[in-house]
Structures are given as structure tokens and as C-alpha cells.
A = this chain, B = another copy of it.
Amino acid sequence: MKVVVQKGLIRSGKIKTICEGLKKRILIIADDKVLSYAHLVTQEMNIPILTLKAQERLKTRKTKEKLENAMLTLRYDKETLLIGIGGGITTDICGFIAATYYRGIDFMLVPTTLLAMIDSAIGGKNGVNTLFGKNLIGTFYQPLYVFVDQEVLVTLPEKEKQNGMAEMMKYGLLFDEDILKMSLEKAIKRAIEIKMKIVEEDFRDVGKRQLLNFGHTIGHAVEKASNYKISHGQAIYFGMLVESFISYKLKFLSKTDFLKITALLPKKNKLRKITKENILEALKYDKKRKNNKVHCVLLKKIAKPLVVNAQYSHEIDEKIVQSALDEMLV
């Protein structure tokens, strides 16, 4: 996988040149909100564009099936190059389609949200949601290229930007405090570097990638419990808060560091209409669960995750989870 980060990349025509070099039949699947970027990518090439509505509730096996059927109707075969353009929902669906269409076709991604640029589009994870939880069905499958053009962020809604910033903070809290002070442009590059390094190291040191789930055990459960009405960003901010609190309660993280993290997180972090019980129920279907127990990534310090016996994710007693939720939900 190659990642090209360049401001103005989309209107430069470079993507078109790279795609045409592959001599495959090209198809675009784009979030209908960023159709104008899809047209810029195609640069007047005569390429079919399929659109989707990028909503968590539509990130389903059904939507995947509909898009596949549209591709089959257009007679795309094994020699297809699929380009996915959009945020994380789009890149996840496109990656999953590419992984299973004719048992695997070439694909590239043009992430158009901050979150997708630094997280969803990098590293080959894909998937769709089920009624039982997020991303429970999917595969690992690498794109040939990821094209990151920060210029598209000017049209990104503020809420979407927050989703990305939460993930950016995750990289900071896990690996590199400096990232929290950089310019957005530098922070994007640094975050992609970190994610790619972790994904690569994971091949030698299996499981390392789990570190990236910091904040996500609780975060995903909150998203699910809210029926995806709470944004990913807000859920992950809350997840990092709870999981930092658990790290502190279990005496891995100092109180100073815990308070520092609390201060770094956005103030307006109260979750309305979500109860502890909702979250605990959602946790029962968490993908990171092992032996039917909750597992979390924990912190030792800021920029230093806890690793015990080469384990990156740790079994947490349900009572600890309950009491952490009790304290943090107030």
C-alpha cells in the first residue's frame, strides 16, 4: 500500500494518471455528498460512478450486496480497479467489496474526511455493521494506493472534523504527545506515519495493532447504545476518558496523567439519554471481546500504552467497567 499525501492532489490529475497506468476497467464508488470530488478525480474520463448514502445504519451487508449487483450488472469482472471516494463508511464498504468481489480485485481510496485520512483508509481493515454491533463482518485487505488531499477538508462539516480530531488525540495519547500541538497538515502526516508503522509492525508482533483500539471498547459500545446517534468522535472521546479512568483506577496511570488527559478532552463531553445498562448490553457484542470478557487498551503514561506479557489488550473485570461508567457518566 502506498499513501500519497499532497495538497491539491485531486485536481492535479495525478490520480487519473496512476489509475490509467494499471490498464484495468475502472469504477468509482463515492459518497453522494462528495460527488464533485469524484468528478474531479475522473478528469472527464468516461468512468461509471456508483453512489451510496454514507450513514452508519446503511453500512450493511445489504448495501454491499446492492453495490455488488450494480457492478455485476455493469459486467465488471476480475480485472476491475475500484476507487472508493468518501469518509470511513465509504472506504470500509469499498474495501470489503474489493476483498470479496470475484474473490478480490484491485482498489484505491480517496478519503475525504479527516477520520478516514488518518484512520479508516489506512491499514486494510474493512467491514460493515450488523444489528449486533459495528464492523462485525469484514476482512483485512489492502488498497494499492490511498490518496490524501487535505484540500477537501475545507468542505468538511465541523462535526465530521471533530470525529477526526478525536482519533488524532488517540494517536497523541498513545504514542506522541507532540501531535496534539502540531498544525493540522503536519498532524495528518504524522498520524498516517504512526498508523502505517503500527500496521506494519503488527505483522511481526501480532496484536500490536490492538493498541489502536484505545478508547474504542467503550466508544463503540456507546455508539451502538445510542443507535449511532452519538458521533464517532464524541463516543471515542468518552471512551478514552473511561479507559483512562480504568487505567488510573487499576493503578497503571498516575492521577496527574489522568487529570491531564481529562483537561485535554473537550469539555462538552456529557452523554445524554445513554445509560450504563445500554452500554453494558452493547459491550456484550464487542468484537474485541475474548472468552466472553471485556478487553481494553490501557495507558501507563501519556504516550505509553500498557503492555503485559506481550498483551496489548487487557481483560477488565465487569465490576471495574461498571464503576468506571458510574463515575464518568455523571
Contact = CB atoms under 8 A, between A and B. Distances in A.
Interface of A: 61, 65, 68-69, 72-73, 75, 77-79, 96, 99-104, 125, 127, 130-133, 135-140, 284-285, 287-292
A68 B137 contact: yes
Contacts of A75: 284-285, 292
Contact of A290 (B78, B137, B287): B78
Given A61-B61, A285-B72, A290-B77, A125 B100 contact: no
A23 to B, nearest CB: 9
Nearest to A141: B139
Contacts of A65: 61
Contact of A139 (B68, B79, B103): B103
Nearest to A290: B79
Contacts of A291: 79
A103 B140 contact: yes
**Copies of this protein, total:** 2
Contacts of A139: 99-100, 103-104, 139
Contacts of A130: 68-69, 72
Nearest to A99: B139
Contact of A138 (B100, B131, B292): B100
B137 A101 contact: yes
A61 B72 CA distance: 14
Nearest 3 A-B pairs (CB), nearest first?
A: A72-B132, A77-B289, A103-B138
16 contacts: A61-B61, A68-B137, A69-B131, A72-B133, A72-B136, A72-B285, A77-B289, A78-B288, A79-B291, A100-B137, A100-B138, A102-B287, A103-B125, A103-B127, A104-B139, A104-B140
A139 to B, nearest CB: 6
Contacts of A96: 100
A148 B289 CA distance: 33
A231 B291 CA distance: 43
Contacts of A136: 68, 72, 101-102
A107 to B, nearest CB: 14
Contacts of A127: 103
Given A75-B292, A100-B137, A102-B287, 16 more contacts: A61-B65, A68-B136, A69-B130, A69-B131, A69-B132, A72-B132, A72-B133, A72-B136, A75-B284, A78-B288, A78-B290, A79-B290, A79-B291, A99-B139, A102-B136, A103-B125
